[in-house]
């Protein structure tokens, strides 16, 4: 895919374009080790460094600010091929990134959803020729994302791109932030000239899911990936569960597949099948949780000499499920059949649990 009309942070399509680096800079040694390892990975074009960390709850590590920027400047003096990007949330952050020669910046999810912050922030960037990446706000709404991008373009920024980091929804199906890929496709349709990268780390929230999410992003032809990489992820001060080592990143890049044909049916099918595989695996995990809970119920029923099958409760459960299914437009018979099977298995497990207690 060519980015002919795109004011891209990429000069050519070297796919996948990777941005990698720690969630937060923690020490000079951790930064140096990350850089030493990441500059050896040719696909890594930018090193991400969090120096001001927006924390959901107070009391956590909030980043080292200018101290860390000074370390970056020192590294750039000896390693000019290393290029760095940081998150900015306040006009002072913009000034500090300018002072320390940061190569690209991104606007985080907490900031991009707030029009007042966006106005102040973009005003501080007016006239600065720097690549700016705009993450989507947590709210699942493409208009907020578009508005944040428009505010960047409005102050004359020429290298604006988007970063998809998932959305905060009620039932997130195990994702830290649900990908809701349809919103990304809506953004692409509304602003075809804006490159879109994917941040699988903040979508998945767990390192085991990064490859699956990255592949899904490539399958819908997103333009690159921003991945959190730390020399010792388990000891990371922020987002320890979702960071990977530089060696793991190299293996992941090797396994990722770039499929040909932007609009081929195969690509679309592949993405949808990955979605189905993921949903199925969540269904199985939920069934296991349900059956484990049935066993706990058996233990209580056993203690009170109750029988496993409680017709009144079963009727209630079934009626509730049917009502919920109907409201969602799912066939009553289908849900009834599934729940009858689940109930039979639940009773079987409870009875065998109760026999063991005797
Ligand atoms: C980050 O990239 O470090 C970050 C805080 O992400 P987000 O703004 O997507 O939550
Ligand atoms: Mn993070």
State how far the Cα of 238 lies from the Cα of 252, in Å rounded to an integer: 22
- Residue 49: is its pLDDT beyond 50? yes
As a whole number of Å, the CA-based R_g of the chain is: 24
The answer, yes or no, to whether residue 132 has pLDDT greater than 60, is yes
Adjacent-strand bridge partners of 88: 107
User: Residue 160, SS3?
Assistant: strand
CA distances 173 to 281, 286, 325, 349, Å, are: 10, 10, 18, 26
Q: How far does the centroid of ligand 1 lie from the alpha carbon of residue 167, in Å? A: 12
Phi-psi region of 328 (alpha: psi -120 to 50; beta: other; left: phi over 0): alpha
DSSP H/E element including 352: helix 332-357
DSSP-based three-state secondary structure for 57:
coil
Output the pLDDT for position 266: 66
- Atom of ligand 1 minimally distant from the CA of 201: 2
Q: In this model, does residue 189 exceed pLDDT 80?
A: yes
Q: From residue 332, give the alpha-carbon distance in Å to each of 276, 322, 329, 338.
A: 22, 6, 9, 10
Three-state SS at 222: coil
C-alpha to C-alpha distance for 19 and 23, rounded to whole angstroms: 12
| Of the candidates 225, 257, 254, 252, the residue with the CA atom closest to the CA atom of residue 10 | 225
Look at residue 243 in the predicted model and tell me its pLDDT.
98
State yes or no: pLDDT of 51 exceeds 90: yes
Tell me, in angstroms, the distance from the centre of ligand 2 to residue 199's CA.
10
Tokens 């709404």 identify what position?
141
Whether the predicted pLDDT of 169 surpasses 80: yes
DSSP string, 136-152: PPSSS-HHHHHHHHHHH
Cα–Cα dist 169/139, whole Å: 8
Work out the average pLDDT over 238-257.
Answer: 96
- What tens digit of pLDDT does each residue of 73-122 get? 999 999 999 999 999 999 999 999 999 999 999 999 999 999 999 999 99
What pLDDT is recorded for position 15?
Answer: 57
CA of 55 to the centre of ligand 1 (A): 9
pLDDT of 357? 80
pLDDT at position 264 is 57
Of 175, 165, 180, the C-alpha closest to 204 is 175
2-6, 30-34, 228-232, 343-347: which range is least confident on average?
A: 2-6
- Ligand 1: residues with CB < 6 A are 23, 50, 54, 87, 108-109, 135, 165, 199, 202
Q: Is the pTM of this model over 0.95?
A: no
Residue of the CA atom closest to atom 10 of ligand 1: 109
Residue that is written with structure tokens 């940061």 in the block: 102
How far is Cα 309 from Cα 314, in angstroms, rounded to an integer? 8
Residue nearest atom 1 of ligand 1, based on CA coordinates = 23
> In this model, does residue 3 exceed pLDDT 50?
no
Q: Quick check: 211 pLDDT over 80? A: yes
Report whether pLDDT(268) > 80. no
Query: What is the torsion angle, in degrees rounded to the nearest 10, for the CA atoms of residue 301, residue 306, residue 307 and residue 308?
Result: -20
181 torsion bin: left (phi>0), alpha (psi -120 to 50), beta (else): alpha
Task: Look at residue 71 and tell me whether its pLDDT is greater than 70.
Answer: yes
What does the block give as tokens for 358? 């005797």
Whole-Å CA distances, 183 to 77, 186, 356: 41, 5, 51
The set of residues, in sequence order, having a beta carbon less than 8 Å from that of 66 and lying 6+ positions away, is 51, 96, 100
Q: Which of 20, 27, 28 is nearest to 49 (CA)?
A: 20
What residues contact residue 165 under an 8 Å CB cut-off, 6+ apart?
109, 135, 136, 177, 199, 202, 203
pLDDT range class, residue 21, cuts 50, 70, 90: very high
Q: What is the pLDDT of residue 219?
A: 87
The SS3 assignment for 212 reads: helix
Query: In the chain, what percentage of residues exceed pLDDT 70?
Result: 93
Residue nearest to atom 3 of ligand 1 (CA): 23
Give the pLDDT mean for 264-290. 82
């Amino acid at each position: 895919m060519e980015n002919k009309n795109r004011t891209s942070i990429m000069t050519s399509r070297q796919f996948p374009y990777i941005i990698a680096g720690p969630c937060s800079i923690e020490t000079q040694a951790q930064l140096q080790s990350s850089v030493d390892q990441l500059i050896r990975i040719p696909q890594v074009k930018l090193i991400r460094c969090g120096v001001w960390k927006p924390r959901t709850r107070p009391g956590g590590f909030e980043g080292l600010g200018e101290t860390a920027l000074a370390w970056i400047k020192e590294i750039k003096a000896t390693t000019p091929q290393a290029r760095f990007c940081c998150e900015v949330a306040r006009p002072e952050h913009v000034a500090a990134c300018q002072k320390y020669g940061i190569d690209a910046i991104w606007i985080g999810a907490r900031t991009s959803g707030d029009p007042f912050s966006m106005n102040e922030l973009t005003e501080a960037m007016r006239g600065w020729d720097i690549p700016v990446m705009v993450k989507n706000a947590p709210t699942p709404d493409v208009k907020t994302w578009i508005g944040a991008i428009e505010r960047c373009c409005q102050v004359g920024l020429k290298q604006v791109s988007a970063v998809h980091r998932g959305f905060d929804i009620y039932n997130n199906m195990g994702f830290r932030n649900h990908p809701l890929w349809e919103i990304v496709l809506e953004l692409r349709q509304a602003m075809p000239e804006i490159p879109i990268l994917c941040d699988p780390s903040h979508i998945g929230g767990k390192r085991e899911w990064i490859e699956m999410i990255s592949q899904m992003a490539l399958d819908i032809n997103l333009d690159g990936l921003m991945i959190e990489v730390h020399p010792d992820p388990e000891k990371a001060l922020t987002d320890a569960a979702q960071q990977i080592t530089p060696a793991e990143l190299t293996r992941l890049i090797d396994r990722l597949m770039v499929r040909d044909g932007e609009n081929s049916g195969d690509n679309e099918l592949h993405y949808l099948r990955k979605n189905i595989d993921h949903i199925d695996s969540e269904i199985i995990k939920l069934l296991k949780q349900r059956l484990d809970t049935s066993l706990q119920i058996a233990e209580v029923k056993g203690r009170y000499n109750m029988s496993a099958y409680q017709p009144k409760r079963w009727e209630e459960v079934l009626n509730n499920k049917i009502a919920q299914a109907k409201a969602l437009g799912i066939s009553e018979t289908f849900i009834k059949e599934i729940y009858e099977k689940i109930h039979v298995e639940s009773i079987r497990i409870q009875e065998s649990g109760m026999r063991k207690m005797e």
